[in-house]
Amino acid sequence: MIQEQTSAVLSALRTLGTERKGLDALEEAIRKAGEGGLGAAFSEAVKTISTAPGRVIVTGIGKSGHIARKIAATLASTGEPAFFVHPAEASHGDLGMVQNGDVVLAISWSGETAELAAIVTFAKRYAIPLIAMTAEVDSTLGREADIRLIMPSAPEACPNGLAPTTSTTMQLVLGDALAIALLEGRGFTALDFRALHPGGKLGAKLMHVREVMHTGERVPRIAGNARMGEAIVEMTSKGFGCVAVFDEGGGLAGIITDGDLRRHLKPDFSLDTPVAAVMTKRPRTIGPDALVAEALEQISHKIQALLVVERGQVVGIVNFRDLMRVGAF
């Protein structure tokens, strides 16, 4: 069994190493920004897509088709209207999905995929920009394309050199690079991303803190000249495991947490102890317009609640239970 596991691990390492070399070759090819290089073609593809009034139609078949679907989904999720059209279905009516103003991104490692003929011909007939992602510049797809993203040569991880492995990884990564370049060019923000991802853990992390925080009387608070007996009552009644301490002007002077209380529970501790002697003077805070993801980064087993501060005033409190409630964990 140990020998079998070792063999499997060695196989995995060979696969990762081979595919990593493919990505290294892809990176080197993109660095060559001169005319005819992948870098120049990549820049042209980004410009063409970003200025097109329509959508990106991504197409491919077989393993390249699976990659095409993922690239279309990534483009759409990052604000670039895109969808996948199956090349075989295209010749049976789905060409009606392609319109003037669109851009076609056709993916084929060999560039000789017969099923792409209909959509390629349609794109050329109606002057729809055609971007090819292929490894063969002189292939049928390469010759017909307006922009050629020519992939560098790289061996497949498959020991027989047959199963698409390195090649599909390179296609996928180049598609991701295209999506991110377009995203950055548009100034696409986390808030834009949230609008397209309202559900699940990702959507929860992209909520604003003000959407989940507690406000008003729910915020545990105590005056700076109060005693620990009052602070403990306030902490217990509000149930956040902490209490905000305010100075005479209503500003935040500090915070007392369960941890602060435990650290001061010594023989000389008294309920008459001033809260100022126990509080932490510089508590962690967060703004109401911060993302839940930012609150999640600050909350830990040591810090389970954050005071929400706006313009120097405490406007709310958020704790780990609130983040669990909206599904951010």
Q: Which residues on adjacent β-strands are paired with residue 246?
A: 223, 252
- Do 168 and 248 have their domain in common? no
Residue ending a domain, choose from 131, 157, 188: 188
Query: DSSP secondary structure string, 89-140?
Result: HHTTTGGGG--TT-EEEEE-SSS--GGGHHHHHHHHHTT--EEEEES-TTSH
In a domain? residue 204: no
Residue 217 lies in a domain: yes
Q: For residue 166, give the CATH number of its domain.
A: 3.40.50.10490
CA 244 – CA 231 distance, rounded (Å): 9
pLDDT band at 299 (very low <50, low <70, confident <90, very high): confident
Mean pLDDT on 54-79: 94
Residues 228 and 307 in one domain: yes
Q: What is the CATH number of the domain that holds 250?
A: 3.10.580.10
Residues 194-226 pLDDT 10s: 555 455 555 555 677 888 888 988 999 999 889
* Domain co-membership, 33 together with 163: yes
Range of the domain at 74: 2-188
Residues 221 and 81 in one domain: no
**Residues 110 and 151 reside in one and the same domain:** yes
- Residues 177, 214, single domain; the answer is no
Q: Is the pTM of this model over 0.85?
A: no
pLDDT band at 142; cut points 50, 70, 90: very high
User: Is 244 among the domain residues?
Assistant: yes
Residues counted in the chain:
329
Q: Which of 45-49, 220-224, 322-326 has the lowest mean pLDDT?
A: 322-326
How many domains are contained in the chain? 2
- Residues 46, 149: one domain? yes
Tell me the pLDDT band of 3, cut-offs 50, 70 and 90. low
Of 156, 188, 220, the last residue of a domain is: 188
Same domain, 236 and 146: no
* Residue 197 domain flag: no
Q: Is the pLDDT of residue 106 over 60?
A: yes
For residue 44, being part of any structural domain is answered with: yes
Q: In which band, very low, low, confident or very high, does the pLDDT at 1 lie, cut at 50, 70 and 90?
A: very low
Looking at the structure, do residues 105 and 33 belong to the same domain, yes or no? Answer: yes
